[in-house]
Structure formats: C-alpha cells, structure tokens
Amino acid sequence: MIQNPVSAAWRDRSSAPRGRLHAFASGRPRRPRRVAMLSVHTSPLHQPGTGDAGGMNVYIVELAKRLAALDIEVEVFTRYTSSDLPPTVELAPGVLVRHVTAGPYEGLVKEDLPAQLCAFTHGVLRTEAGHRPGHYDLVHSHYWLSGQVGWLAAQRWGVPLVHTMHTMAKVKNAALARCDTPEPAARVIGETQVVEAADRLIANTADEAGELAFHYGARPDQLAVVHPGVNLELFHPGGPGAQRIARAELGLPADAAVLLFAGRIQPLKAPEVLLQAAGVLLERRPELRERLVLAVVGGPSGNGLAKPQSLQKLAAELGLGDMVRFHPPVGQADLARWYRAATALVMPSHSESFGLVALEAQACATPVVAAAVGGLPVAVRDGETGTLVQGHDPADWATALEPYVVRPELVARLGAEAARHAAGFGWSAAAAATADVYAGTLVRPAGRVGPARRRLH
C-alpha cells in the first residue's frame, strides 16, 4: 500500500471504538426514512465467490438488513441479469431489491457496463418518479459505476449522496498482479468525478480514507471510517468437535492440515501463491505430503475467466493434484462449515479494501495467513489471530504456513483469539455507524449546498 501523510493522520484517529464513526459531527440528527442503495454491476442476490460477486455483495446484504432493523428502509437497485427475475424481490423485511433493465440480460461483463449507465439511471429515476416527492431521503452508491448513477440521482432528487468505493483503480494498479490487466483510465476519471460529487465517502479503514485523500483529493469533511462487519449468528466457532464434524461432512481427513482459499479465482486474489507455497513447503518437508490438504472454494472471475482451469493445471505441474480439493462457490452456511474445517485460511491477495472472508474465518475460530495489503492488517492481528506476509514470494509464504501445518497448539491458541477478535466486528455496530453518517449528511446549515449540487449551478 502506498504510504502517505494523510493516511498516517487517519490511522492516528483509529483509536476510537471499533465499528464507531471516526471524525464526524457529534449529536443525534435525524436518520433517513428510506435509502436508495445502488449496486449496478452485481446483485445482492448473486452467489458470492464467482463472477463479479464477492465481499461487496455480502456487505450490501448485511448492511441493508441491519439498517432495516434500525427502521431505515432500503431499496437496492441492481441490473436485470435474467429474464426470469421479477421486477422486485423482498430480500428481508424493510429491504427491497429492484431490478433495472440496462442492456441485454446476459452476456455483459463489468467492463461493458459504462455504456449502460444512461439506461440504468433512467430506470432509477423512473422508479422514483412513480412515488410522491421525497420518497428517498438519501442515495448510497457502491463501487464507481453506481457512483456515476448516484451522482445524477441525488442531484435530481435534491438529496445527499453517500458513496463507498470498495476498490479503487489507482490502488489496484499500484499493486497489480503479474499478468493482470490495469484498470482503465475511464475508471480513474469516473472515480475522481464520484469523489468530487459525493457528500460523504465511507471508507473501510483509516488507510483507505487516506488513499481517497491522497489519490483522489477527497476532503477531510467528506471522509468517514466505518469498519465492515461479520454475521456472528452464522459465522461462529460451533460447539465441541466442530472441526471434526465439519470435516466429516465435507469428506476431509480428520487429521489433515487443511489450508483453505475461499474466494474468486482471479489474479487479484492470487490463489496460485497457496499452491506454489505448498510446493516449496513439500520440498523442505516431504513428509508433510501425507497430511497436507489444499482446499480451493470459489469460481473464476474477472481475468481468471480467460483461463478457468489454470489452477488445476498449476496443481498438476507442481505435483499437487492429489492434495488439492477444488470446490465451486457455496452459500454462507456451507462456507462457515469450510472455515470450521480448515486449519487456516490463506489470503494472498494483491489488494483488498478490507477482506471480509478474513473476519468470517476468524469468527469461526480459524486463524488467517494473509498478505499485508489494504484492510487486512486491520482484519487480522499479526501474531495474535494469524500471520501477515509481506509480498508474494512463495518461499516466504511457505515459511509463514509451516507452523500452522506442524503446530496444532499454535492453531488452537490463535484460533481462540481470532474468534474473540472477530466478535468485535458485528454488523449491527457497522450499520449504526453508517446510519450516523447518513444522519450527518442530512444536516446542513441554512444556505449550504452539498458538493454535487453546488458544482452544477
């Protein structure tokens, strides 16, 4: 991650209680009654772990549900991806998913969607026009494509725009994986426009807030830090013998050392590092072959779609074919089972805005070995709940992973601490902090006009 004075200043503010808003106005102004939440390129109804569905999908679903529990209705606008989908779906009480026609239902990839933003915006505006004025109090957009739509919708309705980046082109390009494709200039321009237009920018971590300021010129009064959460009702350690039970259900050896990768298979996530590190580890300790299992749960995504069998081929080339278990993406309940079955979760990503799977695994008492990038140093406590690795050299990763394979007492100790750590990241706290951000945007001194409205007058 690029270090800069602004991000250092935001880290200094991070001593506030976890899950609470950092650097925002005090008091309790009113919260919105109804929020238009925008997710253009991926639907909260999609299965995380494949295509463009991942942590952002989980983020939107969990946040929307918890906001509804705070009596803030949420309507999520997303694109039709199938003719079989109904116009609206009630995701939970108080949470409605609205499908918008923007381009063909199928066959579009994320890179094609900028050309469909006009159509998507039209669908959003038309929906609002069918209600009485003031139906939505606020727009919360996710990812830069949604921000482009949110900018116009908020301006038309005269309401504030809150935006969450999730990932940023300049940050991704600065830590590009080998053979990965740089994010285009059009995205950089689009993100810059959204930052200029937004009333508030919600960052996952203090470092991300610093990056928004450093790379995109975000103002201090725009920035708020709210850590994402984890569903503690679903992701938990389980009862006695939880690991043994989970392994029996998944067909994994009871006495194995199971190293798990869970997520989209694409260069950004670097799953090949796990396989390469295992190859190095076996060169050092051949006797470990008898008990080492590598589990990969997820599907090809992004640039990984060009070579969907690349990991299988790499496993064969490294002589690991008999040790690797490939499994397609699974639902949240089954994912919790995989976490409990694992000895450690491995996250070699080149970039992560936060890394929700790291929290989910820790909530299940599974330590995490992760790259020291993005928000992962916040999600994982190095040496206490897992290990942070600098760089992506397979030899370094083999060194980091070896203790988890050979020292069960270390795994138990770090796993117990991981569960305690993750327990502080409930979604209810994240939603309450987000609601406070919303409330703050609705308070303006007389005559003040938000940035998105001011610029165009």
Going by pLDDT thresholds of 50, 70 and 90, the confidence category of residue 305 is very low
pLDDT tens digits, one per residue of 399-445: 999 999 999 999 999 999 999 999 999 999 999 999 999 999 998 54
Distance of alpha carbon 226 from alpha carbon 21, whole angstroms: 6
| Residues in binding site for 1D-myo-inositol 3-phosphate | 41, 52-57, 110, 143, 167, 187
- Asked if 137 and 32 touch (Cβ cutoff 8 Å), the reply is yes
- Nearest Cα neighbor of 172 from 164, 161, 183, 163 is 183
Q: Is the pLDDT of residue 170 over 70?
A: yes
Query: What pLDDT, on a 0 to 100 scale, did the predictor assign at position 255?
Result: 95
- Asked if 355 and 377 touch (Cβ cutoff 8 Å), the reply is no
Distance of alpha carbon 42 from alpha carbon 120, whole angstroms: 13
Distance of alpha carbon 30 from alpha carbon 138, whole angstroms: 12
Q: Is the pLDDT of residue 7 over 60?
A: no
Q: How many other C-beta atoms are found inside a 10 Å radius of the C-beta of residue 63?
A: 26
User: Highest mean pLDDT: which of 52-56, 232-236, 443-447?
Assistant: 232-236
Q: CA dist 388 to 59, 274, 367, Å?
A: 23, 14, 11
Instruction: Give the mean model confidence (pLDDT) for residues 5-23.
Output: 40
Helix (H, G, I), strand (E, B) or coil at 311: helix
Instruction: Give the mean model confidence (pLDDT) for residues 329-351.
Output: 95
Distance of alpha carbon 129 from alpha carbon 157, whole angstroms: 10
Q: Is the pLDDT of residue 65 over 90?
A: yes
Angle at 56 between CA 361 and CA 303, to 5 degrees: 95
Q: CA dist 45 to 58, 94, 286, 410, 411, Å?
A: 9, 16, 44, 38, 35
Q: CA dist 232 to 93, 140, 240, 334, 354, Å?
A: 20, 25, 18, 15, 17
Distance of alpha carbon 223 from alpha carbon 214, whole angstroms: 12
- Encoded tokens for 147: 């921000």
Report the top-level CATH class of 242-422. alpha beta
Q: Please enumerate in sequence order all residues whose Cβ is within 8 A of that of 307, keeping only pairs 6 or more positions apart, or say none.
A: 300
Instruction: Give the mean model confidence (pLDDT) for residues 174-179.
Output: 78
- Asked if 36 and 97 touch (Cβ cutoff 8 Å), the reply is no
Own/partner contacts of 324-327, CB < 8 Å, gap of 24 or more, are 324/275, 324/294, 324/295, 324/296, 325/252, 325/293, 325/294, 325/295, 325/296, 326/296, 327/295, 327/296, 327/297
Going by pLDDT thresholds of 50, 70 and 90, the confidence category of residue 309 is confident
- Asked if 325 and 380 touch (Cβ cutoff 8 Å), the reply is no
Going by pLDDT thresholds of 50, 70 and 90, the confidence category of residue 28 is low
- Nearest Cα neighbor of 396 from 417, 372, 376, 420 is 372
| Residues in binding site | 41, 47-48, 52-57, 110, 143, 167, 187, 264, 269, 330, 339-340, 342, 352, 360, 366
Q: CA dist 165 to 140, 211, 217, 333, Å?
A: 11, 11, 14, 27
Q: Which CATH number fits domain 5-229+427-444: 2.40.30.10, 3.40.50.2000, 1.10.540.10, 1.10.3720.10?
A: 3.40.50.2000
| Residues in binding site for Mg(2+) | 339-340, 342, 366
Q: Is the pLDDT of residue 180 over 90?
A: no
pLDDT tens digits, one per residue of 114-147: 999 999 999 999 999 999 999 999 999 999 999 9
- Residue 77 CA to its chain's centroid (Å): 18
Over the Cα atoms of the chain, what is R_g?
22
Query: What pLDDT, on a 0 to 100 scale, did the predictor assign at position 176?
Result: 79
- Nearest Cα neighbor of 429 from 139, 233, 226 is 226
Going by pLDDT thresholds of 50, 70 and 90, the confidence category of residue 301 is low
Q: Is the pLDDT of residue 448 over 70?
A: no
| Domain boundaries along the sequence of the chain | 5-229+427-444, 242-422
Query: What pLDDT, on a 0 to 100 scale, did the predictor assign at position 175?
Result: 82
pLDDT tens digits, one per residue of 344-384: 999 999 989 888 999 999 999 999 999 999 999 999 999 99
The position carrying tokens 């299988």 is 312
Q: Is the pLDDT of residue 51 over 90?
A: no
Distance of alpha carbon 404 from alpha carbon 385, whole angstroms: 12
Question: In angstroms, how far apart are the furthest CA atoms of the chain?
Answer: 73
| Residues in binding site for UDP-N-acetyl-alpha-D-glucosamine | 47-48, 55, 264, 269, 330, 352, 360
Distance of alpha carbon 48 from alpha carbon 291, whole angstroms: 29
Q: What percent of the chain has pLDDT over 90?
A: 76
- Burial string for 277-300 (b: 16+ CB within 10 Å, else e) reads bbbbbbeeeeebeeebbbbbbbbb
Q: What is the mean pLDDT of the chain?
A: 89
The position carrying tokens 């106005």 is 25
* DSSP designation for 300: B
